Homo-oligomer: A and B are copies of this chain.
Amino acid sequence: MAAAAPPPPPTPAPEPAMGPPEDSPVGHPMFARIRLATPSDVPHIHKMIHQMAVFERLTHLCSATENSLSSTLFSPTTKPFHSFTIFLLEVSPNPFTDSVITDPSFTPVVKVVHLDLPIDDPEKETFTTNAVNDVSVAGFVLFFPNYSTFLAKPGFYIEDLFVRDCFRRKGFGKMLLSTVAKQAVKMGYGRVEWVVLDWNVNAIKFYEEMGAKILHEWRVCRLTGDALEAYGIAD
């Protein structure tokens, strides 16, 4: 064991398995953009809501249609950040060239991710938003204002955060959540909140790494269906 051969001279460390650093010119670049959704995005949003229901095995509870989503999410009273708001995540192998500033209150966020391998999207055609520039929808986050009386401040409540299957584990969920948090800070809001299933340890770990606290003592109460409708006819 003694007098073994000397160790080889140090060699340059290989690139980590997850790919080169973000600003490196090597690898397969993927351009990712977060912008406010518009009524013309409803077909894509509807498909993703359905995929979310399939993932959660809750399709029997999902009655959303393109029409019902359009009329409730894009009514005259739904002003971005002051009512129901959707950030859409788009990806492209090419830099974005079109302008998508649909509201003066939000400037789209663009990032470049360098991948070891290009992503093979089996539903690319279904989710294309700009065929010329090869842009497709990869995910979304839906949120709206809530309010804390103790802080006397609004906050944001995130109802859904979804990244399509082939785009997962690449930091896009973090990008969507961070963009909501950043907007909350920009508006002087006090909290960003959402809910998680208590057995989803991976999600809880991810959220805690993002800086969130899990409120273990609180339970959600829900009045819905026939029990709610009964109040409509009561005195």
Contact = CB atoms under 8 A, between A and B. Distances in A.
Given A152-B65, A221-B213, A147 B191 contact: no
A83 B149 contact: no
Interface residues of A, number: 74
Contact of A147 (B142, B192, B214): B142
A210 interface: yes
A63 B186 CA distance: 20
Contacts of A186: 232
Interface string A84-107: 100000000000000000000000
Main secondary structure of the interface of A (DSSP, over half): mixed
Contacts of A232: 182, 185-186
A205 to B, nearest CB: 12
A31 interface: no
Interface in A164-191: 178, 181-182, 184-186, 190-191
A216 interface: yes
A178 B227 CA distance: 11
A148 interface: yes
A212 interface: yes
A83 B82 contact: yes
A11 interface: no
Interface string A41-58: 000000001001100001
Interface of A: 49, 52-53, 58, 61-65, 68-69, 72-73, 77, 79, 82-84, 142, 144-155, 157, 159-160, 178, 181-182, 184-186, 190-199, 204, 207, 210-224, 227-232, 234
